[in-house]
Every structure is written in C-alpha cells, then in structure tokens.
C-alpha cells in the first residue's frame, strides 16, 4: 500500500539524519573494492560511490510498491565499477563477491534477465552488507547491517544506462508510429551490445597474442614484428637486470607509438633486428651512468650509439630538442660525432662549469 503523507515526512527526516552515514559507508566500500582490484591487477575504467540524494530517495519511497521504504530501498549507498570490456566485469565480480555478504535474492545480472530474444539495460547489481568479521572492526562497526548496492558494468553499458535509465530520457508509454522510437531504440541497443562483444573479443585476441609473444621471446624466437606487446615483452626480459638495479624504469611514459615509429624509420622492423643492434652497443656505459633511463630513452640512446647521422636523418623527426650533458659525454667517449646535435638544433644541457672534453678524459680514466 502507498505511504501516506505523514509517513513520507517522517521518512524524509529519517533519511536526512542518516544520509551522512550512508555516504561514509559508500566511500568505505569504494575504497575496499579499489584496493582489492588494484592488488589483483584487474583493469577497470573507474570506481565511484554516492549516497542517494534526498529527492531521489523520496521519489522512490512514494511509489506504490513500497510500504516500508526504509527497509525496502536497498541502494541508499551505491558503488559503481565501470570496466572497459565484459570479461573485466566477470573478473571484478569474482573478486568482489567474496568481500561482502551478498543478498542473492535481491541481486541480479540484468543481461541474464533479458533472455535470448531481447536487448536493453545490462549490468550486474549486488545488494550487500559488510561481513561479520569486518563489521566487528572499530572503523566499520557503525555500518553493521546497512545495505548497499554495487553496480558493475562496461563503459558501453554505462552509456546505455545513462541515456535510457539514469537520466531524463525515460522511454515509456506510447509514441506516435511515424517517429519509430521503439524500433530505433531497440536497434541502437542491439548495436551497442554487438560493439561491446566485439571489443571484448578484440581484447581477448590481443591478450592471446601477447601471451604467444611472451613465450616466443622466452624461447629466444625473436622473429617477431615490432609492436607494443612484442617490444614491451622483449625489453622486460632484456633489461631485467637494469630495471632491478634501478638504472632503467620499465615504462615508455606514453611514448610507445613514437619510439616504434622511430625504430621502423631507423630500419628496425623486428625484435631480432633490435636485438642485434643492442648486442653491438656499449651497454656498460648505460649501466655505469648516473642518467635515469626508461624504455623510451634507452631505445633512443641505442639508436644514437648505433648511427647518430642515420637517426637524425630518418628517425628523429623533431620529436625532442634537448639532451643531457652526461649522454653527450657517453656518446663522445664512444666515438660518436656529437656535432650532429648542433647541426639539428638539439640543445646539450651542460652545466656552466662543465667542459665535455674534460669530462670525457675523466670518464676514460675511471672506466
């Protein structure tokens, strides 16, 4: 039976007093989920939390189906996990479910509810409470018995929900047939689902390729085209000792595409070809230097050591304009013509009281 006005006023005052607690609960649960997903190495797009707004709560509480809104409405605290693809939704579910007491009767996978012949809103919803063990901890004891809802969905499922469910575009009731709203909406929903599935399939294919490349490089089979997975896997093994002692950071700092373009322009099209020039270069200089390297700068240094003229003529493409004096010292000591830097307008960051020729002589005496 519907809630009468007097009860609605009382319910509103009750929720006003409880909303800060539900907000705190939502943030606590968000933190738990984030920490565990990060520790498990599971990829996700975002995690957010909120306490239901008072107006939203009252609108829901006034519906005929709620005769005890305080106990029946279970999403006063809400946590949303958004992933890139569907397989990550499944990974998140496997990790999240054991963390809390899940109310299976009120939890659902909305995609399963659609059946095989329907399209529409898809998302995993868990209604949950904290476990008994967690509720006994001082920082969680205030939340014992309080329910919260966890939603787990892909970015595309989130886009669908934002348009069709969470925002103002409520597609309900009858529409004039000339607008063809229902059919167009169903087609859009089906298209989103197909795209979501294809993204998931592409990611799984990339993961399979990455595993194959990793296995090949471990076995010494380096006849592999240069691309992000092959380059990352190769360097992670080839430079493991330099990474371990802190000489190289295991990152491209977002420069994967640039350095791959430079390698190809330099004439390196396979991991085997890259391995050959790395073998021919004085890696001891890099290991003994005080310069901080990452994968990007390491590969550029290798090309500079190999053929500085070729690098600037074909691969450089104005991608950078300054080099540390320590690098110039290493290059000069290795017999590289560093006058090329001046030719191309690359600035050598030399301290005022440092002379490169003097530093080269000093370097020669200690190596």
Residues 264 and 231 in one domain: yes
Under 8 Å between Cβ of 322 and 349: yes
Retrieve residue 201's tokens: 């399939």
Retrieve residue 336's tokens: 């590289």
Boundary-marking domain end, from 197, 232, 262: 197
Report the DSSP pairing between strands 46-51 and 124-130: unpaired
pLDDT tens for 31-79 read: 999 999 999 999 999 999 999 999 999 999 988 888 889 989 999 999 9
Which CATH number is 79's domain given?
A: 3.30.460.10
Boundary-marking domain end, from 144, 162, 197: 197
Q: Does residue 120 lie in a domain region?
A: yes
Q: Does residue 176 lie in a domain region?
A: no
Q: Does residue 271 lie in a domain region?
A: yes
Residues 163 and 279 in one domain: no
- Angle 222-225-230 from CA coordinates, rounded to 5°: 70
Domain span at residue 141? 5-171+187-197
Counting the structural domains of the chain, the total is 2
Residues 244 and 191 in one domain: no
Distance from C-alpha of 300 to C-alpha of 11, rounded to nearest angstrom = 66
Q: What is the pLDDT of residue 366?
A: 33
Please report how many Cα atoms fall inside a 13 Å half-sphere around the Cα of residue 265, on the Cβ side.
18
Q: What is the pLDDT of residue 34?
A: 98
Low-confidence residues in the chain, pLDDT < 50: 1-5, 114-120, 168, 352-353, 359-367
Q: Does residue 216 lie in a domain region?
A: no
Looking at the DSSP assignment, which residues form a beta bridge with residue 101?
129
Residues 302 and 166 in one domain: no
Under 8 Å between Cβ of 125 and 107: yes
Provide CB contacts within 8 A for 36, sequence distance 6+: 95, 96, 99
Q: Does residue 244 lie in a domain region?
A: yes
Boundary-marking domain end, from 147, 162, 197: 197
Residues 129 and 231 in one domain: no
Distance from C-alpha of 102 to C-alpha of 113, rounded to nearest angstrom = 18
Chain CA centroid to CA 289, Å: 33
Q: Does residue 323 lie in a domain region?
A: yes
Residues 229 and 328 in one domain: yes
Looking at the DSSP assignment, which residues form a beta bridge with residue 77?
51
Residues 167 and 231 in one domain: no
Backbone φ and ψ of 18, nearest 5°: -95, -15
Q: What is the pLDDT of residue 116?
A: 43
Residues 147 and 241 in one domain: no
Looking at the DSSP assignment, which residues form a beta bridge with residue 48?
80
Residues 40 and 75 in one domain: yes
Q: What is the pLDDT of residue 167?
A: 52
Distance from C-alpha of 205 to C-alpha of 7, rounded to nearest angstrom = 56
Residues 192 and 242 in one domain: no
Residues 237 and 361 in one domain: yes
76: nearest Cα among 159, 136, 148: 148
Q: Does residue 202 lie in a domain region?
A: no
SS3 per-residue string spanning 270-306: EHHHHHHHHHCCCHHHHHHCCCCEEHHHHHHHHHHHH
Q: Does residue 32 lie in a domain region?
A: yes
Residues 326 and 241 in one domain: yes
């Amino acid at each position: 039976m519907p809630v009468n006005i007097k009860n609605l006023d009382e319910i509103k005052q009750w929720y006003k007093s409880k909303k800060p607690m539900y907000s705190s609960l939502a943030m606590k649960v968000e933190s738990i989920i984030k920490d565990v997903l990060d520790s498990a190495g599971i990829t996700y797009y975002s995690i957010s939390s909120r306490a239901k707004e008072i107006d939203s709560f009252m609108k829901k509480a006034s519906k005929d189906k709620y005769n005890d809104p305080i106990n029946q409405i279970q999403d006063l605290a809400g946590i949303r996990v958004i992933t890139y693809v569907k397989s990550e939704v499944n990974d998140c579910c496997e990790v999240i479910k054991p963390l809390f007491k899940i109310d299976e009767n009120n939890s659902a996978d909305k995609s399963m509810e659609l059946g095989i012949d329907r399209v529409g809103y898809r998302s995993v919803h868990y209604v949950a409470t904290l476990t008994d063990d967690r509720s006994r901890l001082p920082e969680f004891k205030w939340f014992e018995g309080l329910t919260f809802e966890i939603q787990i969905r892909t970015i595309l499922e989130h886009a669908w929900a934002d348009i069709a469910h969470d925002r103002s575009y409520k597609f309900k009731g009858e529409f004039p047939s000339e607008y063809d709203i229902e059919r167009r909406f169903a087609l859009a929903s089906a298209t989103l689902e197909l795209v979501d599935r294809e993204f998931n399939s592409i990611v799984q294919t990339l993961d399979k390729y990455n595993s194959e490349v990793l296995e090949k490089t471990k076995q010494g089979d380096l006849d592999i085209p240069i691309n992000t997975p092959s380059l990352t896997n190769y360097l992670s093994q080839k430079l493991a000792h330099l990474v371990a002692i802190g000489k190289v950071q295991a990152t491209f700092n977002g420069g994967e595409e640039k350095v791959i373009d430079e390698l190809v322009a330099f004439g390196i099209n396979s991991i085997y070809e890259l391995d050959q020039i790395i073998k021919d270069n004085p890696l001891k200089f890099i290991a003994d230097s005080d310069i901080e390297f990452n994968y990007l700068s390491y590969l550029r240094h290798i090309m500079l050591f190999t053929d500085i003229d070729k690098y600037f003529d074909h691969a450089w493409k104005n991608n950078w304009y300054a080099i540390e004096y320590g690098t110039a010292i290493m290059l000069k000591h290795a017999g590289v013509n560093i006058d090329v830097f001046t030719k191309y307008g690359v600035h050598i960051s030399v301290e005022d009281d440092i002379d490169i020729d003097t530093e080269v002589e000093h370097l020669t005496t200690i190596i």
